[in-house]
Every structure is written in structure tokens, then in C-alpha cells.
Structure 1
Amino acid sequence: MQPPQNPAFDQAEFRKSSYSQSEAACVEVAGLDPGVAVRDTQNRGLGTLSFNAAEWQAFLDTAKDA
């Protein structure tokens, strides 16, 4: 059973981080208005997570401090 998809995800332009190079274990991110969508590169059909701008910024701030 496939998870429901938001139609905005079908229109989104997902991109991989340049840091992932050719590694398979990475995620793809797409800008949404407002916020971002994130999905697994190898398992795109399993669904997409979305975060509003504040949630995404909190994640980025935490990741930078780690």
C-alpha cells in the first residue's frame, strides 16, 4: 500500500546534497512554499515528509551545532 502523496510533491524539484556525491544512503530535499519536502533517494515511493520553514530551520541549526 502506497502512502498518500501531496500533489505539490509531484511538482517539486527534488535535489540531493552535493556532499552525498554518488552515495546511495542520502535524502533529497525540495523547496515548498513555505517550507521543504524530504524523501529517501532509494525509496522515493515510500512517501515524503514535509516541514514548515521554522521546523526546517530548527533542524538545520541543530545539525550545524552537532
Structure 2
Amino acid sequence: MDGMDDAARLAAYDEFAAGVRDELEATKARMGELAAAGRVKSATYRQLFAARVTLREIDARLRERGL
């Protein structure tokens, strides 16, 4: 982030936070679709589950910092 001023840095973090939250919602929606189809034991569901855990942690850390 060399050469970025504070406003540009904050905008980049805000964009990152929004992307994480969008991805988290898409992941939860896809998991819901798979669960409705009875595919909670599939490899795809398990991969999405792991991604959801990671995205939730990132989101929690961003929220702790007011982002």
C-alpha cells in the first residue's frame, strides 16, 4: 500500500470488507441450496462450510475494527 494516502487506504479496506461480506452471503446461499437438495455430505458443501468459517472470522475482525 505504499504511496496510498489515508483516504485511499480506507476506501480499499471498505471495498475489501464489502467483498468479504458479499462472498459470505453468496456462500451461505449456495450452502442453503445444497442443504435443500440433501447434499450436506458432499465435498462442495464441506468446502463451502470451511470457506464460510473463514469469511465469518474475517468479517468479525473487520467489524471489531469498525470496518
Q: TM-score range by the shorter chain?
A: under 0.3
Larger radius of gyration: 2
Q: What TM-score results when the alignment is normalised by the length of structure 2?
A: 0.27
Q: Which protein is richer in helix relative to its size?
A: 2
If the length of structure 1 is used for normalisation, what is the TM-score? 0.27
